Structure 1
Amino acid sequence: MTEDTDLSEGYVSIPTDEDDLSIFLNGLDSMPLGKAGNKSLREKLGWNEDHNRYWRAHGRALDQGKIEVGRGRGGSVQLVKIIEELDNGSEATNVLHQSAPLNPQREANLYEPARKVIDNSWAKAENYDEYVVSITATRGRAYTGGKWTRPDISILAIKAYPYLPHRYFEIVTFEVKPKDQTTVEGVFEALSHQQFATRSYAIFHVPDLNQNEVFLDKFPDGQRILATARKHGIGVILATDIEDWETWDEILSAEKTIPDPEQANRFIATGFGSDIHDKIIKWHK
């Protein structure tokens, strides 16, 4: 919506920041593949004489997770929705060419039962003041740059300590691996989340692991999983029954890290819906 200014000659419509954001995004959307150099886009929008106007709209689009910045002389930008469309197409092609194990367990089928356990038990054990748990696997690659950097499940949480002056905000991510994928790749996927998360976990669904069996003896990659996770501060959870908290064994706790604030903000902007955004803003007030 524009603001009307009363001048002697009549009313002049002054674009608001929201108007400029829409103009910016529509202009970028009209470019091939939704991508343009900053100079080219600025010229297309007719903002060559008002660089501040361009950078204000650019900053709002970036903060809201609408664009990704790129390289090139003077820098470039691309619409996130275009990146996601291209990425989804390439991944679908890759899936067709992969050899799948016999009767594989679908990872996506584990997300909702794991989310419920994290929401109803794991997060409560952390004693957060406020928290939300969401499946973020399907939110696209926009905030980072590839499928490894999409957490399957994520927590946003806030907690105050009685004798400390500030409340602490946490982003905890979980990579869920099905029974036929108990390999170190799950740890590396969780590791890629550390650029925007305060803690990252790999959850391995191991229904064939009996109570008296040792993880390292049962799985060929077990030693490498634990060594790599310990080296990089990644937490490891073994879940015999993905739906039952009582069967979850946190054999390694994740170390807390300090993520890059820009990456963390972009992850929240693109990985969660507007209802959760509103809730987080209220937490910070």
Structure 2
Amino acid sequence: MGQLKLQDQLGWGDEYWAIRDGLEDMSLIRRGRGRGGTLSRVTESPEVETVSIPVDIDPTTQGEIAVNALRREAELYTPIAKVLGGDWSRDRRVRPLEIEVTAHQGARATGGRWSRPDLVWISVRTFQFLPQKVLEVITFEIKPVDAIDVLAVYEALAHRRAATHSYVVLDVPGDRAGALAEDIQAVRDVARSHGVGLIVFEDPEDYSTWDVLEEAQRVEPDPERLEAFIETQLSDGTKKSISQATR
């Protein structure tokens, strides 16, 4: 069942996520792909990786944006950032340290062509059996419905040189999905071949309309390149947060 539908039927709020995570840790349910994520009952015990990850998330956003039938790219950043900080993060059982819109930086030098992602999601994770803290920097390349092209994957690859994961996120209104199916498949094929993630959505504010078609593969960026990315792309507040969290 779609897990957001299940949450709605149960009439639960944020407590849903903690209960879901506990059932998953007990190997009673399994998460799956689908719009907003899906849940299925486990009849055979799977191998479960037990990790210590916080689940209470208090995402912030700078306001609501009206979405037209044909949305411009800039209008998508804030609602997508809100979902990434909320249901998307909770579904992955990870607390985001910061989520930053990095597209609006004017003429500031950030490292050349395709060096600037649209959104950056950052977390510092701890694990039960690993002594060190793990920094994850995920970049997102957003494309509105009239700009769906395989070129987006190569833009995401350029960002991934200094990130652990990269995603392409496509705006696909329901009434355009059929006409865009071939273009989306082309983007998916190229994304899969390069380990870039692919997300499509109908409504940027509604996680139940999001579908993760390809999960991004984790890579280990060169430390100097990652350091330079943080220095040139992120705000002073985010840099301070990273510095404090990784000490």
Shorter-chain TM-score range:
0.5 to 0.7
The secondary structure found in structure 2 opposite 1:157 is: strand
Which position in structure 1 is the counterpart of 2:29?
none
Cα 1:247–1:187, aligned 2, differ >3 Å: closer, same or farther?
same
Q: Between Structure 1 and Structure 2, which shows a larger proportion of helix residues? A: 1
- 2:198 aligned with 1:233: no
2:97 corresponds to which of 108, 121, 131: 131
Pairwise CA distance, 1:183: 1.4
Hey, what's the Cα distance between the residues in 1 that align with 2:199 and 2:133?
A: 27
Unmatched tracts of structure 2, length 5 or more:
1-68
Q: Which has the larger radius of gyration?
A: 1
Superposed CA offset, 1:106-136 (max 9, x none): 2111111111111112123232355110101
Which position in structure 1 is the counterpart of 2:205?
243
Which position in structure 2 is the counterpart of 1:76?
none
Superposed CA offset, 1:44-94 (max 9, x none): xxxxxxxxxxxxxxxxxxxxxxxxxxxxxxxxxxxxxxxxxxxxxxxxxxx
- 2:112 aligned with 1:145: yes
- 2:218 aligned with 1:256: yes
The secondary structure found in structure 2 opposite 1:180 is: helix
247-256 or 123-132, which deviates more: 123-132
User: Percent identity, aligned pairs only?
Assistant: 35
- 2:135 aligned with 1:173: no
Higher relative contact order (CA 8 A, sep 6+): 2
How many residues align structurally?
178
Hey, what's the Cα distance between the residues in 1 that align with 2:89 and 2:96?
A: 10
Pairwise CA distance, 1:149: 2.1
Hey, what's the Cα distance between the residues in 2 that align with 1:139 and 1:126?
A: 29
Which position in structure 2 is the counterpart of 1:61?
none
Unmatched tracts of structure 1, length 5 or more:
1-102
Which position in structure 2 is the counterpart of 1:284?
246
The secondary structure found in structure 1 opposite 2:217 is: coil
Which position in structure 1 is the counterpart of 2:228?
266
Structure 1's consecutive aligned runs of 4 or more residues displaced over 4 angstroms after TM superposition are: none
**Contact 1:173/1:190 (<8 A) preserved:** yes
Q: TM-score by structure 2 length?
A: 0.67
Which position in structure 2 is the counterpart of 1:190?
156
**Paired residue type of 2:160:** Q
Which position in structure 2 is the counterpart of 1:35?
none
Hey, what's the Cα distance between the residues in 2 that align with 1:119 and 1:113?
A: 10
Q: TM-score by structure 1 length?
A: 0.58
The secondary structure found in structure 2 opposite 1:155 is: strand
**Contact 2:96/2:121 (<8 A) preserved:** no
The secondary structure found in structure 1 opposite 2:146 is: coil
What is the alpha-carbon root mean square deviation over aligned residues?
2.0
Hey, what's the Cα distance between the residues in 1 that align with 2:125 and 2:95?
A: 5
Hey, what's the Cα distance between the residues in 2 that align with 1:250 and 1:104?
A: 22
Which position in structure 2 is the counterpart of 1:155?
121
Hey, what's the Cα distance between the residues in 1 that align with 2:189 and 2:96?
A: 33
**Contact 2:89/2:96 (<8 A) preserved:** no
Pairwise CA distance, 1:170: 0.5
- 2:84 aligned with 1:118: yes
Superposed CA offset, 1:146-176 (max 9, x none): 1x22110001111111112212110000011
Pairs within 5 Å for 1:83-102: none
The secondary structure found in structure 1 opposite 2:147 is: coil
Superposed CA offset, 1:3-33 (max 9, x none): xxxxxxxxxxxxxxxxxxxxxxxxxxxxxxx
